[in-house]
Homo-oligomer: A and B are copies of this chain.
Amino acid sequence: MVVIAFTSVFFPVASPPPNSSTKTSGNLSGMPARVHTWGIKLKSSFGSSRGLQVTAHLQTPPKVNGTNVGVMEDPKSEDETMPSPPPVTFINQLPDWSMLLDAITTIFLAAERRWIMLDWKPKRPDLRVEPFYYGRLLQDGLVFRQNFCIRSYEVGADCTATIETIMNILQETALNHVKTLGIQGDDFGATPEMSKRKLVWVVSKMKVLVDRHPTWGDVVQADSWTAAGGKNGIRRDCLLRDCKTGDILARASSLLVMMNKETRKLSRFPNEVRAEIGHYLVDSPPVLDEDGIKIPELDDNTADYVRTGLTPRWSDMDVNLHVNNAKYINWILESAPMQMLESHESAPMQMLESHEVASMTLEYKKECRRDCAVQSLTSVLSNGAGDLADSGYIECHHLLRLEGGPAVLKGRTEWRPKYTKPNVNGRRSAS
Protein backbone atom coordinates (compact mmCIF):
# COMPACT_ATOMS: atom_id res chain seq x y z
CA MET A 1 0.00 0.00 0.00
CA VAL A 2 0.97 3.58 -0.47
CA VAL A 3 0.58 6.45 1.92
CA ILE A 4 -0.22 9.68 0.17
CA ALA A 5 -0.41 12.74 2.35
CA PHE A 6 -1.85 15.88 0.88
CA THR A 7 -1.31 19.22 2.54
CA SER A 8 -5.04 19.75 2.38
CA VAL A 9 -5.51 16.53 4.29
CA PHE A 10 -3.14 17.67 6.98
CA PHE A 11 -5.17 20.83 7.29
CA PRO A 12 -8.85 20.27 7.16
CA VAL A 13 -9.34 23.94 7.93
CA ALA A 14 -6.40 25.17 5.94
CA SER A 15 -7.91 25.47 2.51
CA PRO A 16 -9.96 28.56 1.85
CA PRO A 17 -13.61 27.94 1.24
CA PRO A 18 -14.70 27.60 -2.36
CA ASN A 19 -15.63 31.25 -2.49
CA SER A 20 -12.20 32.35 -1.28
CA SER A 21 -11.56 34.01 -4.60
CA THR A 22 -13.83 36.76 -3.36
CA LYS A 23 -10.99 37.55 -0.96
CA THR A 24 -13.05 37.78 2.16
CA SER A 25 -12.35 36.18 5.48
CA GLY A 26 -13.24 36.46 9.09
CA ASN A 27 -11.69 39.52 10.61
CA LEU A 28 -9.83 37.87 13.43
CA SER A 29 -7.21 39.57 15.55
CA GLY A 30 -6.94 42.60 13.33
CA MET A 31 -6.31 40.68 10.13
CA PRO A 32 -7.60 42.42 7.03
CA ALA A 33 -11.01 41.42 5.78
CA ARG A 34 -11.52 42.81 2.32
CA VAL A 35 -9.32 43.59 -0.60
CA HIS A 36 -9.06 47.17 -1.74
CA THR A 37 -9.83 46.93 -5.41
CA TRP A 38 -9.00 50.57 -6.12
CA GLY A 39 -10.96 50.40 -9.32
CA ILE A 40 -8.63 47.74 -10.66
CA LYS A 41 -9.88 44.43 -11.87
CA LEU A 42 -8.56 41.65 -9.69
CA LYS A 43 -6.01 39.46 -11.34
CA SER A 44 -5.60 35.91 -10.26
CA SER A 45 -1.89 35.44 -10.69
CA PHE A 46 -2.03 33.76 -7.31
CA GLY A 47 -5.56 32.59 -7.64
CA SER A 48 -7.56 30.35 -5.43
CA SER A 49 -6.65 27.16 -7.20
CA ARG A 50 -3.33 26.84 -5.49
CA GLY A 51 -3.91 23.45 -3.96
CA LEU A 52 -0.80 21.38 -3.57
CA GLN A 53 -0.91 18.76 -6.24
CA VAL A 54 1.45 15.96 -5.48
CA THR A 55 2.57 13.06 -7.53
CA ALA A 56 3.43 10.10 -5.41
CA HIS A 57 5.80 7.43 -6.52
CA LEU A 58 7.78 4.84 -4.71
CA GLN A 59 11.48 4.94 -4.90
CA THR A 60 14.51 4.05 -2.91
CA PRO A 61 16.11 6.87 -1.02
CA PRO A 62 18.80 8.89 -2.80
CA LYS A 63 22.36 8.01 -1.95
CA VAL A 64 25.27 10.07 -0.75
CA ASN A 65 28.59 8.33 -0.60
CA GLY A 66 26.83 5.10 -1.13
CA THR A 67 24.60 5.49 1.89
CA ASN A 68 20.88 6.06 1.85
CA VAL A 69 19.80 9.44 3.13
CA GLY A 70 16.49 11.16 3.41
CA VAL A 71 17.33 14.01 1.11
CA MET A 72 15.14 14.82 -1.83
CA GLU A 73 17.01 15.31 -5.03
CA ASP A 74 15.86 17.67 -7.72
CA PRO A 75 12.18 16.86 -8.13
CA LYS A 76 11.24 16.18 -11.70
CA SER A 77 7.56 16.92 -11.41
CA GLU A 78 6.21 19.34 -13.95
CA ASP A 79 3.52 20.40 -11.56
CA GLU A 80 4.27 24.01 -10.74
CA THR A 81 1.26 24.92 -8.69
CA MET A 82 1.73 26.53 -5.31
CA PRO A 83 0.78 24.93 -2.00
CA SER A 84 -2.58 25.91 -0.60
CA PRO A 85 -2.59 29.11 1.39
CA PRO A 86 -2.86 28.30 5.09
CA PRO A 87 -5.76 29.58 7.14
CA VAL A 88 -5.59 33.04 8.58
CA THR A 89 -7.02 31.78 11.84
CA PHE A 90 -4.27 31.93 14.40
CA ILE A 91 -3.68 28.71 16.21
CA ASN A 92 -1.22 28.14 19.00
CA GLN A 93 1.18 26.23 16.88
CA LEU A 94 4.12 24.42 18.34
CA PRO A 95 5.81 24.41 15.90
CA ASP A 96 4.23 26.14 12.93
CA TRP A 97 2.90 22.95 11.43
CA SER A 98 1.48 24.33 8.26
CA MET A 99 4.84 25.84 7.39
CA LEU A 100 6.51 22.59 8.27
CA LEU A 101 4.17 20.39 6.34
CA ASP A 102 4.48 22.37 3.17
CA ALA A 103 7.93 20.89 2.95
CA ILE A 104 7.23 17.29 3.83
CA THR A 105 7.76 15.49 0.61
CA THR A 106 9.61 12.37 1.57
CA ILE A 107 8.31 9.96 4.13
CA PHE A 108 9.29 6.43 5.04
CA LEU A 109 6.80 3.64 4.82
CA ALA A 110 7.94 1.41 7.64
CA ALA A 111 5.75 -1.57 6.79
CA GLU A 112 7.33 -1.90 3.38
CA ARG A 113 10.68 -0.35 4.33
CA ARG A 114 10.52 1.93 1.32
CA TRP A 115 10.58 5.64 0.77
CA ILE A 116 7.76 7.61 -0.70
CA MET A 117 8.61 10.86 -2.33
CA LEU A 118 5.85 13.35 -2.88
CA ASP A 119 7.18 15.68 -5.54
CA TRP A 120 6.23 19.28 -5.56
CA LYS A 121 7.65 22.26 -7.28
CA PRO A 122 6.46 25.65 -6.22
CA LYS A 123 6.01 28.33 -8.83
CA ARG A 124 8.73 30.56 -7.44
CA PRO A 125 12.21 29.03 -7.47
CA ASP A 126 13.28 30.88 -4.32
CA LEU A 127 10.59 29.02 -2.38
CA ARG A 128 12.14 25.70 -3.26
CA VAL A 129 15.04 26.35 -0.95
CA GLU A 130 14.52 26.18 2.78
CA PRO A 131 10.86 27.18 2.56
CA PHE A 132 10.41 27.58 6.28
CA TYR A 133 13.02 30.30 6.47
CA TYR A 134 11.14 32.58 4.14
CA GLY A 135 7.59 32.76 5.37
CA ARG A 136 4.54 32.41 3.17
CA LEU A 137 1.56 34.04 1.61
CA LEU A 138 -1.89 33.85 3.12
CA GLN A 139 -5.24 34.88 1.71
CA ASP A 140 -4.24 34.75 -1.94
CA GLY A 141 -1.20 36.86 -1.30
CA LEU A 142 -2.90 39.63 0.64
CA VAL A 143 -1.09 38.74 3.83
CA PHE A 144 2.46 37.54 4.38
CA ARG A 145 3.46 35.58 7.46
CA GLN A 146 6.98 34.94 8.65
CA ASN A 147 8.44 33.64 11.88
CA PHE A 148 11.57 35.05 13.48
CA CYS A 149 13.66 33.69 16.28
CA ILE A 150 15.01 36.60 18.32
CA ARG A 151 18.80 36.44 18.25
CA SER A 152 21.26 37.37 20.94
CA TYR A 153 22.49 40.38 19.00
CA GLU A 154 18.97 41.70 18.60
CA VAL A 155 18.37 42.19 22.30
CA GLY A 156 19.55 45.09 24.37
CA ALA A 157 21.41 45.09 27.65
CA ASP A 158 18.14 44.11 29.34
CA CYS A 159 17.85 40.90 27.27
CA THR A 160 14.72 42.05 25.43
CA ALA A 161 14.39 42.81 21.74
CA THR A 162 15.09 46.45 21.06
CA ILE A 163 12.58 48.67 19.33
CA GLU A 164 15.02 48.74 16.39
CA THR A 165 14.79 44.94 16.18
CA ILE A 166 11.01 45.10 16.10
CA MET A 167 11.16 47.63 13.28
CA ASN A 168 13.69 45.47 11.46
CA ILE A 169 11.33 42.50 11.64
CA LEU A 170 8.51 44.59 10.23
CA GLN A 171 10.75 45.69 7.38
CA GLU A 172 11.95 42.20 6.59
CA THR A 173 8.42 40.82 6.54
CA ALA A 174 7.22 43.59 4.26
CA LEU A 175 10.10 43.08 1.84
CA ASN A 176 9.63 39.33 1.77
CA HIS A 177 5.95 39.88 1.04
CA VAL A 178 6.82 41.77 -2.13
CA LYS A 179 9.55 39.30 -3.04
CA THR A 180 7.34 36.27 -2.54
CA LEU A 181 4.55 37.78 -4.59
CA GLY A 182 7.04 37.88 -7.43
CA ILE A 183 6.64 41.60 -8.00
CA GLN A 184 10.04 42.77 -6.83
CA GLY A 185 12.12 44.90 -9.13
CA ASP A 186 15.72 45.95 -8.66
CA ASP A 187 15.41 47.61 -5.25
CA PHE A 188 14.15 46.49 -1.87
CA GLY A 189 10.37 46.34 -2.02
CA ALA A 190 10.20 48.16 -5.34
CA THR A 191 8.10 46.74 -8.16
CA PRO A 192 9.44 46.37 -11.72
CA GLU A 193 7.52 49.47 -12.82
CA MET A 194 9.01 51.41 -9.93
CA SER A 195 12.50 50.26 -10.86
CA LYS A 196 11.93 51.38 -14.45
CA ARG A 197 11.24 54.85 -13.07
CA LYS A 198 14.07 54.77 -10.48
CA LEU A 199 11.51 54.90 -7.70
CA VAL A 200 12.04 53.44 -4.23
CA TRP A 201 9.79 53.29 -1.18
CA VAL A 202 10.54 55.57 1.75
CA VAL A 203 8.74 55.64 5.08
CA SER A 204 6.78 58.80 5.67
CA LYS A 205 5.16 57.98 9.01
CA MET A 206 5.31 55.07 11.38
CA LYS A 207 3.54 54.14 14.55
CA VAL A 208 4.44 51.15 16.68
CA LEU A 209 2.69 49.90 19.79
CA VAL A 210 4.59 47.32 21.82
CA ASP A 211 2.66 45.27 24.34
CA ARG A 212 5.64 43.14 25.27
CA HIS A 213 9.24 43.01 24.11
CA PRO A 214 10.25 39.41 23.30
CA THR A 215 13.48 37.98 24.66
CA TRP A 216 16.38 36.00 23.24
CA GLY A 217 15.21 32.72 21.67
CA ASP A 218 11.54 33.70 21.51
CA VAL A 219 9.96 32.86 18.18
CA VAL A 220 7.68 35.61 16.99
CA GLN A 221 5.24 35.52 14.10
CA ALA A 222 4.83 38.57 11.92
CA ASP A 223 1.78 39.08 9.70
CA SER A 224 2.04 41.93 7.25
CA TRP A 225 -0.27 43.44 4.64
CA THR A 226 -0.77 46.65 2.71
CA ALA A 227 -3.64 49.03 2.15
CA ALA A 228 -4.12 52.21 0.21
CA GLY A 229 -2.55 55.14 2.04
CA GLY A 230 -3.67 58.54 0.87
CA LYS A 231 -3.27 59.78 -2.67
CA ASN A 232 0.35 58.84 -3.28
CA GLY A 233 1.21 56.20 -0.78
CA ILE A 234 0.42 52.84 0.71
CA ARG A 235 -0.09 51.79 4.27
CA ARG A 236 1.82 48.78 5.57
CA ASP A 237 0.36 47.14 8.67
CA CYS A 238 1.95 44.46 10.77
CA LEU A 239 1.01 42.29 13.73
CA LEU A 240 3.67 40.59 15.79
CA ARG A 241 2.70 37.62 17.93
CA ASP A 242 4.36 35.29 20.37
CA CYS A 243 4.41 31.94 18.58
CA LYS A 244 4.14 30.04 21.82
CA THR A 245 1.17 31.80 23.35
CA GLY A 246 -0.44 33.61 20.44
CA ASP A 247 -0.29 36.84 22.42
CA ILE A 248 0.04 39.98 20.35
CA LEU A 249 3.43 41.52 21.08
CA ALA A 250 3.34 44.55 18.83
CA ARG A 251 1.31 46.30 16.17
CA ALA A 252 2.66 48.70 13.63
CA SER A 253 1.28 50.84 10.87
CA SER A 254 3.41 52.85 8.51
CA LEU A 255 2.82 55.08 5.52
CA LEU A 256 5.15 54.66 2.56
CA VAL A 257 5.62 56.98 -0.37
CA MET A 258 7.80 56.80 -3.45
CA MET A 259 11.01 58.72 -3.97
CA ASN A 260 13.05 59.05 -7.13
CA LYS A 261 16.44 57.74 -6.13
CA GLU A 262 18.25 60.04 -8.54
CA THR A 263 16.46 63.33 -7.95
CA ARG A 264 15.67 62.35 -4.30
CA LYS A 265 12.24 63.93 -4.75
CA LEU A 266 8.94 62.36 -3.78
CA SER A 267 6.89 61.06 -6.64
CA ARG A 268 3.26 60.76 -7.56
CA PHE A 269 1.83 57.25 -7.71
CA PRO A 270 2.26 56.00 -11.31
CA ASN A 271 -0.75 54.14 -12.65
CA GLU A 272 1.54 51.35 -13.82
CA VAL A 273 2.65 50.75 -10.25
CA ARG A 274 -0.93 50.94 -9.09
CA ALA A 275 -1.77 48.19 -11.57
CA GLU A 276 1.03 46.02 -10.21
CA ILE A 277 0.10 46.22 -6.55
CA GLY A 278 -3.54 47.30 -6.56
CA HIS A 279 -4.90 43.80 -6.20
CA TYR A 280 -2.74 43.14 -3.17
CA LEU A 281 -4.10 46.09 -1.20
CA VAL A 282 -6.71 45.31 1.41
CA ASP A 283 -9.55 47.61 2.35
CA SER A 284 -9.38 47.44 6.11
CA PRO A 285 -8.91 50.01 8.85
CA PRO A 286 -5.37 50.49 10.16
CA VAL A 287 -4.17 48.01 12.74
CA LEU A 288 -3.56 51.06 14.91
CA ASP A 289 -6.20 53.72 15.21
CA GLU A 290 -5.26 57.25 14.30
CA ASP A 291 -4.84 58.96 17.67
CA GLY A 292 -5.02 62.47 16.27
CA ILE A 293 -2.18 63.62 18.48
CA LYS A 294 -0.15 66.30 16.77
CA ILE A 295 3.54 66.14 17.55
CA PRO A 296 4.93 69.60 18.22
CA GLU A 297 8.15 70.67 16.51
CA LEU A 298 10.64 71.24 19.28
CA ASP A 299 13.18 74.03 19.26
CA ASP A 300 16.02 75.09 21.52
CA ASN A 301 13.56 76.75 23.90
CA THR A 302 11.07 73.94 24.24
CA ALA A 303 13.53 71.02 24.34
CA ASP A 304 14.79 69.73 27.67
CA TYR A 305 17.90 68.41 26.07
CA VAL A 306 19.81 69.03 22.86
CA ARG A 307 22.49 66.61 21.70
CA THR A 308 24.66 67.71 18.79
CA GLY A 309 27.23 66.17 16.48
CA LEU A 310 25.46 62.90 15.73
CA THR A 311 26.68 61.39 12.50
CA PRO A 312 25.60 58.30 10.57
CA ARG A 313 27.76 55.23 10.60
CA TRP A 314 28.32 53.18 7.50
CA SER A 315 26.09 50.47 9.00
CA ASP A 316 23.22 52.96 9.29
CA MET A 317 23.02 53.27 5.53
CA ASP A 318 20.69 51.10 3.49
CA VAL A 319 20.74 50.18 -0.16
CA ASN A 320 19.02 53.47 -0.97
CA LEU A 321 22.17 55.19 0.30
CA HIS A 322 20.44 57.02 3.11
CA VAL A 323 20.06 56.32 6.80
CA ASN A 324 17.59 53.48 7.21
CA ASN A 325 14.38 54.58 8.91
CA ALA A 326 14.91 52.12 11.77
CA LYS A 327 18.27 53.68 12.58
CA TYR A 328 16.87 57.06 13.56
CA ILE A 329 15.64 55.40 16.68
CA ASN A 330 19.16 54.98 17.97
CA TRP A 331 19.63 58.72 17.93
CA ILE A 332 16.40 59.15 19.84
CA LEU A 333 16.66 56.28 22.28
CA GLU A 334 20.35 56.05 22.89
CA SER A 335 21.24 59.65 23.30
CA ALA A 336 18.38 61.76 24.45
CA PRO A 337 16.61 59.69 27.08
CA MET A 338 19.73 58.89 28.98
CA GLN A 339 21.09 62.41 28.97
CA MET A 340 17.63 63.79 29.47
CA LEU A 341 17.29 62.15 32.82
CA GLU A 342 20.70 63.38 33.81
CA SER A 343 19.33 66.86 33.38
CA HIS A 344 16.52 65.78 35.68
CA GLU A 345 19.09 64.80 38.29
CA SER A 346 18.51 61.11 37.89
CA ALA A 347 21.33 58.68 37.37
CA PRO A 348 22.50 58.20 33.77
CA MET A 349 20.88 55.32 31.90
CA GLN A 350 18.14 55.16 34.47
CA MET A 351 15.34 55.51 31.97
CA LEU A 352 16.63 52.87 29.58
CA GLU A 353 17.28 50.52 32.47
CA SER A 354 14.02 51.05 34.28
CA HIS A 355 11.64 51.75 31.39
CA GLU A 356 10.83 50.27 28.02
CA VAL A 357 9.24 51.72 24.93
CA ALA A 358 5.48 51.22 24.97
CA SER A 359 4.70 53.20 21.86
CA MET A 360 6.43 55.30 19.28
CA THR A 361 5.25 57.59 16.53
CA LEU A 362 7.75 58.87 13.99
CA GLU A 363 7.14 61.39 11.23
CA TYR A 364 9.96 61.40 8.70
CA LYS A 365 10.50 64.82 7.16
CA LYS A 366 13.71 64.53 5.21
CA GLU A 367 16.16 61.82 4.34
CA CYS A 368 19.51 61.77 6.04
CA ARG A 369 22.57 60.83 4.03
CA ARG A 370 26.09 59.73 4.88
CA ASP A 371 27.57 63.19 5.31
CA CYS A 372 24.81 64.65 7.50
CA ALA A 373 25.38 65.89 11.02
CA VAL A 374 22.30 65.67 13.16
CA GLN A 375 21.03 67.21 16.39
CA SER A 376 18.67 65.35 18.68
CA LEU A 377 16.20 67.35 20.79
CA THR A 378 13.95 65.85 23.44
CA SER A 379 11.37 67.15 25.85
CA VAL A 380 9.89 65.14 28.69
CA LEU A 381 6.25 65.53 29.59
CA SER A 382 6.48 64.78 33.27
CA ASN A 383 2.71 64.70 33.51
CA GLY A 384 2.01 63.09 30.21
CA ALA A 385 -1.29 61.90 28.85
CA GLY A 386 -3.60 60.93 31.69
CA ASP A 387 -1.78 60.04 34.85
CA LEU A 388 1.32 58.74 33.13
CA ALA A 389 3.62 60.40 35.60
CA ASP A 390 1.87 58.92 38.59
CA SER A 391 1.92 55.42 37.17
CA GLY A 392 5.52 55.63 36.17
CA TYR A 393 4.72 56.22 32.50
CA ILE A 394 6.76 58.81 30.68
CA GLU A 395 5.95 60.61 27.48
CA CYS A 396 8.61 62.29 25.37
CA HIS A 397 8.64 64.43 22.27
CA HIS A 398 11.60 64.32 19.94
CA LEU A 399 13.08 66.19 17.04
CA LEU A 400 16.00 65.27 14.85
CA ARG A 401 17.28 68.09 12.69
CA LEU A 402 20.24 68.69 10.46
CA GLU A 403 22.78 70.93 12.12
CA GLY A 404 21.80 74.42 11.10
CA GLY A 405 19.13 72.97 8.87
CA PRO A 406 15.62 71.61 8.65
CA ALA A 407 13.88 68.89 10.64
CA VAL A 408 14.66 65.31 9.70
CA LEU A 409 12.14 63.64 11.99
CA LYS A 410 9.51 64.44 14.60
CA GLY A 411 8.73 61.78 17.16
CA ARG A 412 6.72 60.91 20.21
CA THR A 413 7.49 58.04 22.56
CA GLU A 414 5.73 56.56 25.56
CA TRP A 415 7.65 54.58 28.12
CA ARG A 416 6.41 52.25 30.81
CA PRO A 417 8.27 50.84 33.80
CA LYS A 418 9.81 47.42 33.35
CA TYR A 419 7.75 45.42 35.77
CA THR A 420 9.71 42.27 35.13
CA LYS A 421 13.32 41.72 34.24
CA PRO A 422 14.08 38.77 31.97
CA ASN A 423 17.42 36.98 32.05
CA VAL A 424 19.18 35.15 29.24
CA ASN A 425 17.15 32.04 29.97
CA GLY A 426 13.94 33.90 29.28
CA ARG A 427 12.83 33.76 32.90
CA ARG A 428 11.30 36.98 34.15
CA SER A 429 11.63 38.24 37.67
CA ALA A 430 10.30 41.40 39.31
CA SER A 431 12.67 44.23 38.50
Residues of A at the B interface (CB closer than 8 Å) are 1, 3-6, 9-13, 61, 64-65, 67-72, 89, 91-98, 100-101, 103-104, 106-111, 126, 128-134, 147, 149, 151-153, 155-159, 162, 164, 168, 171-172, 175, 179, 184, 186-188, 217, 219, 243-244, 309, 313-315, 317-319, 321, 324, 326, 330, 333-335, 338, 348-349, 352, 370-371, 423-426
Report B-chain residues with C-beta under 8 Å of the C-beta of A67.
Answer: 12-13
Report B-chain residues with C-beta under 8 Å of the C-beta of A184.
Answer: 424-425
Are A217 and B134 in contact, CB atoms less than 8 angstroms apart? yes
Report B-chain residues with C-beta under 8 Å of the C-beta of A92.
Answer: 71
Report B-chain residues with C-beta under 8 Å of the C-beta of A64.
Answer: 13, 89, 91
9 contacts between A and B (CB under 8 A): A4-B110, A12-B61, A64-B89, A70-B101, A95-B133, A107-B107, A309-B309, A319-B424, A348-B370
**A18 to B: closest C-beta gap in Å:** 16
Partner of A179, one of B91, B103, B130, B217: B217
Copies in the complex: 2
Are B3 and A109 in contact, CB atoms less than 8 angstroms apart? yes
Task: Identify the closest chain B residue to A162 (Cβ).
Answer: B315
Are A104 and B104 in contact, CB atoms less than 8 angstroms apart? yes
Partner of A326, one of B104, B130, B153, B156: B153
Task: Identify the closest chain B residue to A11 (Cβ).
Answer: B70
Are B103 and A95 in contact, CB atoms less than 8 angstroms apart? yes
Report B-chain residues with C-beta under 8 Å of the C-beta of A371.
Answer: 348
Complex CA–CA separation, A315 to B328 (angstroms): 12
Complex CA–CA separation, A9 to B72 (angstroms): 15
Are B132 and A319 in contact, CB atoms less than 8 angstroms apart? no
**A391 to B: closest C-beta gap in Å:** 24
A-B pairs with the 3 shortest C-beta distances?
A: A314-B334, A133-B149, A153-B168
Report B-chain residues with C-beta under 8 Å of the C-beta of A153.
Answer: 168, 171-172, 324, 326
